[in-house]
Structure 1
Amino acid sequence: MSEKHLKAGDALPSFNGKLRLFAMRFCPYAERSVLVLNAKGLEYDLVFVNLDHKPEWLFNFSPKGTVPALEYEQGKAIFDSNIINVYLDEKYPDKPLQASDPLRRAQDKLIVENFAAAQSAYYTAAFNAQALQPSHIENYHKGLEGLQKELEVRGTKFLHGDEAGWVDLTIWPFLERFLALPLMGKAEFAIDQSKYALLTTYIEAMKNVPAVKLYCLAPETHAKFTESRAKGDPDYNMLDTSAVCCMRPRKKKE
């Protein structure tokens, strides 16, 4: 599988009958869908695209030219990570990732919703530092405190339970990137173990989830890409094989 991000003028790779996800290697929203595909043990292909010089054919799968987009049959696709991930969990129910209880599913969605302000603060800190305000830092830490409180109340290893589920895989891509902020001089965004003991334990547990280990990148790698993007010249193809945990798709168990 190539790590190269295809751009305008590049040909669409041939379809070989597998699920196919159009993504960008450093996009947290695309990562959400990769993690769900991994966790479900599904066989799939990944096609990375350059979001600054989008291939013309990307719009056939995602009308707005956004990622992720999932080609579930040749020439047929759905887009948006939340829509894709719920579809995958319902289409392939062997290993459910959402809670069986409707109330718990609603509560999980509220966790994700309440975490959105922390995500927004991350984007400002990472890509628009001159606009950073004290309110961004406050919202960021409120988001972390909210996650820690949920872990305390639930009393489980993961938010989903004893194993990581939809809610964990939805939150994780941003936590993975949060760890890069101190490396970029944003010390006020550090996740201090003395303050966030339960959350840091959770983060370490998430790093060892098989679905995450297949795709995770080190904070140093995220910092390097983020700095290139903040300068207006994102280095989409910066990775070599040694920088990636693993990018091979997992095969669905028979």
Structure 2
Amino acid sequence: MSEKHLQTGDILPPYTGKLRLFAMRFCPYAERSVLVLNAKKIEYDLVFINLDHKPEWIFNFNPKGAVPALEYEEGKAIFDSNIINVYLDEKYPEVPLQASDPLRRAQDKCLVELFASAQSAYYTAAFAPQNVEPSTVENYKKGLDLLQKELEKRGTKFLHGDEPGLIDYTIWPFLERFEALPLLGKPEFSIDKSKYELLVTYMEAMKNVPAVKAYTLAPETHAKFTESRVKGDANYNMLDTSAVCCMRPRKKKE
């Protein structure tokens, strides 16, 4: 699959009849929906969008021009990762990802809401040119503490239970990116294994979930993309090898 991000002037690829997700490869919100589609083993097409130079037709699928947007029928779409993912879980119930208990579903939503402050702290830290305010570090650490305590309270391998669920696929994309912060010169945002042993164990388990493993990127890759955005020239196509895949043979592994 090409990971080229389509931009202004590029034509909309033909509709194949599958679900089609419009995303951006480095967007954590779009990743949430990719992980849910993967977890449910639904066939889908993935179209990446350059968010700095958006193709004109993306506004037909989301008037805001944002991702993710899910085309569920030709020319018809819904948007926002939370809306998309609940729709997918209800439309394709064969692999249920939400808790069956209404109270647990509500608690999961509360957890996501409380974790949002850590997500905001991540963005501030990632795109701040130099040092960040102590309050940003505090909000970030509160998010880590929240997850550590919740994992201890629930006593399960994943937040959802013995298998990952919607709550895990919602939070994971940010945990994946948290590990890039020390590489961006922000050591105060490192995740101390001795303090967050349960959280670190949880993160390692998530990395090995097939739905995650098929899409996850290394901290070094996230750091490299973030650096390009900070410089004002986001390298959306840094992963795209479609132009050279037929020209350069792969090297044999030693």
Range of TM-score over shorter length: over 0.9
The match for 1:77 is 77
The match for 1:26 is 26
The match for 1:158 is 158
Shift of 1:204: 0.2
The match for 2:149 is 149
The match for 1:220 is 220
The match for 2:188 is 188
Shift of 1:2: 1.5
The match for 2:50 is 50
Counterpart AA for 2:165: G
The match for 1:105 is 105
Counterpart AA for 1:94: E
Counterpart CA distance in 2 for 1:39 and 1:145 is: 27
1:34-82 Cα offsets, whole Å, 9 max, x none, are 0000001100000001000000000000100000000000000000000
The match for 1:36 is 36
The question of 1:203 aligning with 2:194 is answered: no
Counterpart CA distance in 1 for 2:128 and 2:238 is: 22
Counterpart CA distance in 1 for 2:240 and 2:152 is: 39
| 2:177–2:222 contact (8 Å) kept in structure 1 | yes
| Number of residue pairs matched by the alignment | 242
Counterpart CA distance in 1 for 2:234 and 2:127 is: 11
Counterpart CA distance in 1 for 2:18 and 2:165 is: 23
| 2:36–2:85 contact (8 Å) kept in structure 1 | yes
The match for 2:17 is 17
Runs (4+) of structure 1 exceeding 2 A deviation are 128-132
Give the TM-score of the pair, scaled to structure 1: 0.94
1:189-217 Cα offsets, whole Å, 9 max, x none, are 00010110000000000000010001000
| 1:6–1:50 contact (8 Å) kept in structure 2 | yes
Counterpart AA for 2:89: D
| 2:19–2:43 contact (8 Å) kept in structure 1 | yes
Partner of 2:6, secondary structure, is: coil
Partner of 2:65, secondary structure, is: coil
Which sections of structure 2, spanning at least 5 residues, go unmatched? 243-254
Which sections of structure 1, spanning at least 5 residues, go unmatched? 243-254
Shift of 1:132: 2.2
Give the TM-score of the pair, scaled to structure 2: 0.94
Counterpart CA distance in 2 for 1:83 and 1:136 is: 28
Shift of 1:129: 3.9
| 1:193–1:200 contact (8 Å) kept in structure 2 | yes
1:183-241 Cα offsets, whole Å, 9 max, x none, are 11110000010110000000000000010001000000000000001111100000145
Shift of 1:127: 1.0
The match for 2:248 is none
The match for 1:252 is none
Structure ID, larger Rg = 2
